[in-house]
A and B are shown apart, each in its own frame.
Chain A
Amino acid sequence: KAGVTQTPRYLIKTRGQQVTLSCSPISGHRSVSWYQQTPGQGLQFLFEYFSETQRNKGNFPGRFSGRQFSNSRSEMNVSTLELGDSALYLCASTADRPGTEAFFGQGTRLTVV
């Protein structure tokens, strides 16, 4: 069974540009969550999706947006990039039953210069 796949793995962007990150969940998982992690920091919750609907959104500016497609793949977009957006962006997928783990991808390392 393939794991959670995030693309690209690494990205370098310039301030003011926009970026789109992709996440393919484990087959059969309809829940996808996104997290931002900066050096030495925890998992800052961005948003979560279930069956193409955004269920919750974290405390991030409107420049951060996301969506989920009918095949459960998800994308997140960051517009007007700032230096402080440099981080590891992680997505996780979970199954629709209690007592199950969240499976994380390897993350996308975004560097804004």
Chain B
Amino acid sequence: QQQVKQSPQSLIVQKGGISIINCAYENTAFDYFPWYQQFPGKGPALLIAIRPDVSEKKEGRFTISFNKSAKQFSLHIMDSQPGDSATYFCAATILIYNFNKFYFGSGTKLNVKP
């Protein structure tokens, strides 16, 4: 069973536009929702993260919107730039006896056109 579902699989946005990636989860015990950014040939790196008691978190051009009742969260990239072109993964985590279990979405390949 896929614990975290991510959409769309790929996204093309014009420079200056808004990129929106959505994720949905099943387990209400998840306690942390990070987003990762991955450039080709590199490992994913944390972009921004949110806890379930917060509905929105903004860092620069990146915003996470979190809807606990709908079990959904999304990443918004404002004023998208060609340098934002990368693959984005959402994730949900749960701590089990000191062990952080991560569940990753399937990824979204973002292409920002100049």
Contact = CB atoms under 8 A, between A and B. Distances in A.
Interface of A: 4, 30-31, 33, 40-43, 45, 48, 50, 55-56, 88, 90, 92, 94-107, 109
B62 interface: no
A103 B49 CA distance: 13
A40 B32 CA distance: 26
A43 B4 CA distance: 12
B40 to A, nearest CB: 9
A96 B32 contact: no
B43 interface: yes
Given A42-B107, A88-B41, A107-B42, A98 B102 contact: no
Contacts of A101: 34, 46, 49
Contact of A42 (B31, B42, B95, B105): B105
Most buried by B among A56, A98, A99: A99
Contact of A99 (B32, B91, B102): B32
B1 interface: no
28 contacts: A4-B43, A30-B98, A31-B99, A31-B100, A41-B107, A42-B104, A42-B106, A43-B89, A50-B98, A55-B99, A55-B101, A88-B41, A90-B43, A96-B98, A96-B100, A97-B95, A97-B98, A98-B31, A99-B31, A99-B32, A100-B32, A101-B34, A101-B49, A102-B34, A102-B46, A102-B93, A104-B44, A109-B41
